[in-house]
Amino acid sequence: MPLDALIDSLPAHAKDLKLNYSSLVRNNSELTAQQFWGTVVASAIATRSAPLTAAVLEAAPAHLSAQALEAAQTAAAIMSMNNVFYRFHHLTPNEKYATMPARLRMNGLRGHGVEEVDFELWSLAVSAINACGKCVGAHEKVVRDKGASEELVLAAVRVAAVIHAIGTVLDAVQAQASAGQPAAEPALA
């Protein structure tokens, strides 16, 4: 289903999400198109919502170069791994784990071919969705050290929050349908 149709199909209880998404798309002034759509792609993948991810990946090539699309997918993939690994460091009281090598390949963090700030914003968005405080802190610091404003950071996190919430609602709608429950009425614009 095309992304706009998917957003339009959100149930009435998700009207705020529909309005927030519409506002983000129309009124985005902080993020470049590449930053915005890369954040949408990486965030959709991080939601693990199949219908949302499919719709976003269908829409993204109209807004991103092939290289930027692949880089956003790379950010989502690597951060999905790193967020689990480093969140473990944060959650365990055993400090020895933080001194041990990760032994995880992370070559995609370099050589992705897009602006470093953009890739770091996408990594930050995925880390926020996956609730990895250590990764959020590290990527926010890199972005800020490279000259990005707090407004830019918050704009990317705002996109991630809305995309994550849409994915959550779509998964609930899919679960209701699988259970044979009637679908909720779509939200009116």
State pLDDT tens for residues 1-25. 899 999 999 999 999 999 999 998 8
Q: Which residue has the tokens 């998404």?
A: 21
Q: How confident is the model at residue 179 (pLDDT cuts 50, 70, 90)?
A: confident
Is 24 catalytic? The answer is no
CB 15 within 8 A of CB 29: no
Its pTM stands at: 0.90
Reported as a single tens digit per residue, the pLDDT across 114-160 is 999 999 999 999 999 999 999 999 999 999 999 999 999 999 999 99
Which listed residue (42, 55, 125, 135) is catalytic? Answer: 135
Nearest to 125 by CA among 67, 66, 83: 83
Q: Report which of 2, 75, 64, 66 is spatially closest to residue 34, judged by C-alpha positions.
A: 64
Task: Using the predicted structure, report yes or no on whether residue 184 has a pLDDT greater than 70.
Answer: no
Out of 6, 71, 117, 132, the active site residue is 132
Sign, Cα dihedral of 50, 52, 55, 56: negative
- 152 catalytic residue (yes or no): no
Contact 143, 120 (CB under 8 A): yes
